[in-house]
Structure 1
Amino acid sequence: MYLGKHMPVWLDTANGTNFPHLEDEVEVDVVIVGGGIAGLSAATSLKMEGLSIAILESKRISNYITGATTAKIAVTSNLIYNYIFTNFGKEFALKFKEAYFSAFNKIPKIIDKLNIDCDYRRVPLYIFSSDEDSFDNLKSELDVLKELDIDAKIIHDLSYPFENINNGLLYEDQAEFHPKKYLNGLADFINGDGSYIFEKTKVLAIEENENILAIGEKGIFKTNENERNKNLNNDFKKNNDNKMKTIVTERGNLKAKNVLIATNSPIYDPDNLYKFLSQNKSYLLGVYTKSKFPQGMFVDHSPFHSYRSTSTEKGELVIIGGEHHLLEILKIHGIILTTLETSQKNLWM
């Protein structure tokens, strides 16, 4: 087993971006704050509808949260539907399913339409557990999947190196891709013809009629009297007034009637969602193995580890993720990586 480089493989195997920062005042239909997969996907859809777009990214697009994922495209990421069904009911679970399936089906259509070469391929997804007592969890998930009309089935034999796992859920015809190559393709489509991508351009405030709706990175709300104007915020949230807004950045201003916040944590938060948010950190390990990795994506539900592979110049790289924890909890990263490495040596060797 050989360790890979100390950087995400997606950033190491795709071209970086070098879009300009904002210099002159620009007016567009929609300003999108945040240049990850959420912001770029929204911009692509809106531009396809004929709207002019400006994306504002404080650093470089698609290099951070998006650039360090395991890049699975699937109708689920874990045993989640039973939890949602049990806690929020069938109607909400169906809406959750609709959102997942909508994104799942839209990505390949965009890839085909824009002719993006991003290593997209259809593969199965396996969700299993190293805990032998977890079969009831798999069965409960499957029962809900049937209720929601989602195709999956229980299997009792997995391929190397998971051949000692007795039970798992199989989702056939899922997908994986190279996220950085995909987002580079979206960026090429978005930029131009009256739409823009501005990197190294940090948003400082969003103003409407001299009232500051949002400022800074922590969703602090003020008006010109240094108070929160609830009616104004509600109008902005519902977007019924269609008034021109000024997006203030450290390099100049933009004007737009619509602003979409697509940052990891929202800079505009009228519903105080921050109190429900928590930041988590997880770790990825890239390894070259002597034996061929089976085709597919694999998720160990308990303890949580994620597996998939991708082709590199040196051969097939297996990407392993896990050991996540709350960011506020002090962890010694070297120890965690050693723990992840040790667990994988026991699996692969």
Structure 2
Amino acid sequence: MRARRRVSGSYWVETAPGPPPRPPLAQDLDVDVAVIGAGIAGLCTAWELTRAGLGVAVLEARRVAEGVTGHTTAKLTALHTLIYDTLRRTRDTEAARLYARSQSEAIERAEELVDELEIDCDWERRSAYTYVRDPGRVDEVRAEAEAAREAGLPAKFLTEIPLPFPVAGAVRVADQAQFHPRRFLLALTADLVERGGQLYEHTLVDGLREGEPCRVTTQSGATVRARHVVVATHYPVFDRALLFTRLAPRRELVIAGPVDAGLDPDGMYITPEENTRSVRTAPYGEDGRRLLIVTGEHFTPGTGDTPDRFDRLSAWAREHFPGVDLTLPWATQDIDPTDTVPMVGLLHPGARNTYVATGFGGWGMSGGIMAGRLLTALITGRDCPWQELYDPRRLRTAVRQAPALLKAQAEVARHFVGDRLRPAPPVESIAPGDGAVIRSGTDRLAVHRDDEGALHVLSARCPHLGCLVAFNAAERTWECPCHGSRFSTDGGLLQGPATRPLPRREL
């Protein structure tokens, strides 16, 4: 595989195309709960609420489980790199215990649904590992193993693991899981609709007025009146509590290809070293082979040379798994909270019936299932042991993590100001398949030259908060480095928090 080839859809989307698109919302609607977003968090929330007897409508801007959830590596584990020692130090051991319990119960809930709905989604139980190769970082892993055990996980510290290269130290938690996320969610969606839930695709939400009832408006003009509203759009499209100051977008690259079963390392692996490396395999074909999935090279959207990053990730995979045919490149996006823990609960301090689920930090599979159960408990008036842990309105921990928050906002400010001062290249220098932001008078234009040489010209200002977008050459998209909104080369909205496309312009 040449990493510079154009990146397409993920393996999960390509192998589970799903039913024909569901129609967009065309008329006003009254429901108990409106769920905005049909990724794993939104769909699990909608399914749990429907099962609890509420009338639910899911509004999805594109297709079900084709966004972030459709591009994940799909690991279901409670071992989230080095989180337990962090929680023990920045909060307390009880917070770590509640985190471990909530994530572990999410895995068990997923298996319950696989069995109950008889979902064919390549469900497998596997051990999860966090490892380091640098001897200077062994103490970090040893501390994580200790903290994870204190939190209630069956964690062990090891110096040898089944990877095809030596490690200095690792923590292992057995009996975790992996699956095909889109097949899982398509089955959940079918059951949701059968139970009376409503689902509308290609329905872009652009307004929210809180009240009793709340009113959700869409770009088609239709309005949904709902007693409760859940914003599950990965990065919140509505931010009534300045959550964007406590969230940072992170993009990661994925490469995959078939390998002989003998090269399967039999587990799910991640290291914080080498700009992240994550490894696992999945069933592939009828001949017993496995699909090797390698993730890493994380970066802020709109920064860095993405094709070169694909080259580095491919070289790493070939070095450690000789003979792998890397034919499937794609990319995914995560949202990191500045204080480590996802934000799931009431949208802002004054909210009474609006909720949010965001900031899963790369662990959205267990986090999304957990969010569905937590939000259902809150909406139906039941207590949940970990609702305070995930409460988006928390301020004490946000203050403790002030350095991380300030660092994230300094990065946003640097792009907002610095990108406007950067010299702009001439249009003639843009090669076919590439793009650049150029200057036109006092304006900045996003210009892409397609493979035939035609120019596509857009405003370079992100409609969210006005940062300048940058071109991702591998995926051929425009990306906002401030908050992660993404757009196609014709300006179409691919990913929020923006709710409008990039306007067309003329040279």
Give TM-score scaled by structure 1 length.
0.84
Identify if the C-alpha distance between structure 1 residues 29 and 299 changes in structure 2 by more than 3 Å, giving closer, same or farther: same
Structure 2 equivalent of residue 250 of structure 1 = 219
User: What amino acid does structure 1 have at the position aligned with 2:299?
Assistant: H
Q: How far apart, in 1, do the equivalents of 2:86 and 2:121 lie?
A: 33
- For residue 61 of structure 1, the aligned residue among 57, 61, 64 is 64
Specify the SS of the correspondent of 2:263.
Answer: coil
Contact kept, 8 Å, 1:118 with 1:177, in 2: the verdict is yes
Would the aligned equivalents of 1:2 and 1:289 in 2 still touch at CA under 8 Å?
no
Task: Give the deviation of 1:300 after TM superposition.
Answer: 2.2
Q: Which moved more, 1:177-186 or 1:336-345?
A: 336-345
Report the CA distance shift for 1:194/1:288 in structure 2 as closer, same or farther (over 3 A): closer
1:2/1:288 contact within 8 Å kept: no
Corresponding residue number in structure 2 for 1:138:
141
- What residue is the counterpart of 2:309 in the other structure? 336
Asked if 1:168 corresponds to 2:170, the answer is yes
Report the Cα offset of residue 193 of structure 1: 4.7
Deviations 1:232-281 (A, max 9, x none): xxxx6xxxxxx212221122112211111101111232221111111111
Q: Are the equivalent residues in 2 in contact too, given 1:2–1:287 (CA < 8 A)?
A: no
1:91 to 85, 89, 94: 94
Classify the secondary structure of the residue corresponding to 1:266. coil
How far does residue 177 in structure 1 lie from its aligned partner after superposition? 0.4
RMSD, aligned α-carbons: 2.1
Contact 2:79 2:129 in 1 (8 A): no
Question: Once the 2 structures are TM-superposed, how far is the Cα of residue 206 of structure 1 from its aligned partner?
Answer: 1.8
After superposition, residues 203-218 of structure 1 pair within 5 angstroms as 203-207=205-209, 213=210
1:185 aligns with 2:159: no
Identical residues among aligned pairs (%): 27
CA apart distance, 1:52: 1.2
Query: Which structure 1 residue ranges, 5 or more long, are not aligned?
Result: 208-212, 214-235, 237-242
Residue 76 of structure 1 is matched in structure 2 by 79
Match of 2:263 in 1: 292
Q: Output the CA distance in 2 between the equivalents of 1:294 and 1:2.
A: 25
CA contact 2:101–2:152 (8 Å) conserved in 1: no
Aligned partner of residue 257 in structure 1, secondary structure: strand
Hey, what does 1:326 align to over in structure 2? 300
Q: 1:307 aligns with which of 275, 279, 290?
A: 279
Of structures 1 and 2, the one scoring higher in RCO (CA 8 A, sep 6+) is 1
Report the AA paired with residue 142 of structure 1: A
The answer to whether the 8 A contact 1:28-1:195 is kept is no
Structure 1 letter corresponding to 2:231: I
SS at match of 1:206: strand
Where does 1:102-117 land on structure 2 (aligned, <5 Å)? 102-117=105-120
Aligned ranges 1:187-266 → 2 under 5 Å: 187-207=189-209, 213=210, 243-251=212-220, 252-266=222-236
Cα contact 2:35–2:229 (8 A) shared by 1: yes
Displacement of 1:158 after TM fit? Answer: 1.8
1:193 and 1:108 map into 2 onto residues whose CA distance is 20
CA contact (8 A) 2:258 2:284 kept: no
How many Å apart are 1:160 and its aligned residue? 4.3
Shift of 1:348: 2.3
Mapping of residues 18-57 of structure 1, within 5 Å: 18-57=21-60
Residue 150 of structure 1: aligned partner: 153
CA distance in 2, matches of 1:106, 1:193: 19
Q: CA shift at 1:95, angstroms? A: 2.7
User: How much does 1:68 deviate?
Assistant: 0.6
- Residues 272-316 of structure 1: CA distance to partner in whole angstroms, max 9, x if unpaired? 111111111100010233542122111123222111111223832
Give how far 1:19 is off: 1.2
Equivalent residue in structure 1 for 2:243, among 273, 281, 291: 273
Alpha-carbon distance between aligned partners in 2 of 1:50 and 1:115, rounded to the nearest angstrom: 22
Q: Measure how far apart 1:42 and its partner are.
A: 0.3
Alignment correspondent of 2:9: 7
Alpha-carbon deviation of 1:82? 0.3
Aligned match of 2:319: 346
Aligned equivalent of 1:229:
none
Distance (whole Å) between structure 2 residues aligned to residue 103 and residue 171 of structure 1: 15
Deviation string for 1:9-46 (max 9, x for gaps)? 11111133411111222211110001100000001111
Give how far 1:346 is off. Answer: 2.2
Question: Structure 1 pair 170/264, CA: closer, same or farther in 2 (3 Å)?
Answer: same
- Distance in 1 between the 2:255 and 2:268 partners? 15
Whether the 8 Å contact between 2:153 and 2:173 is mirrored in structure 1 is no
Partners of 1:281 and 1:20 lie apart in 2 by 30
- Cα distance in structure 2, aligned partners of 1:147 and 1:132: 24
Per the TM alignment, residue 133 of structure 1 is displaced from its structure 2 partner at its CA by: 2.1
- Residue identity matched to 1:64: G
User: Per the alignment, in what secondary structure is the counterpart of residue 29 of structure 1?
Assistant: strand
Displacement of 1:142 in angstroms is 1.6
In the TM superposition, residue 6 of structure 1 has moved relative to its aligned partner by: 4.1
Cα distance in structure 2, aligned partners of 1:173 and 1:2: 36
Look up the SS of the partner of 2:248 in the other structure. Answer: coil
Matched-pair contact (CA < 8 Å) for 1:280–1:326? yes
Structure 1 residue 113 displacement after superposition: 1.8
Number of the residue aligned with 2:395: none
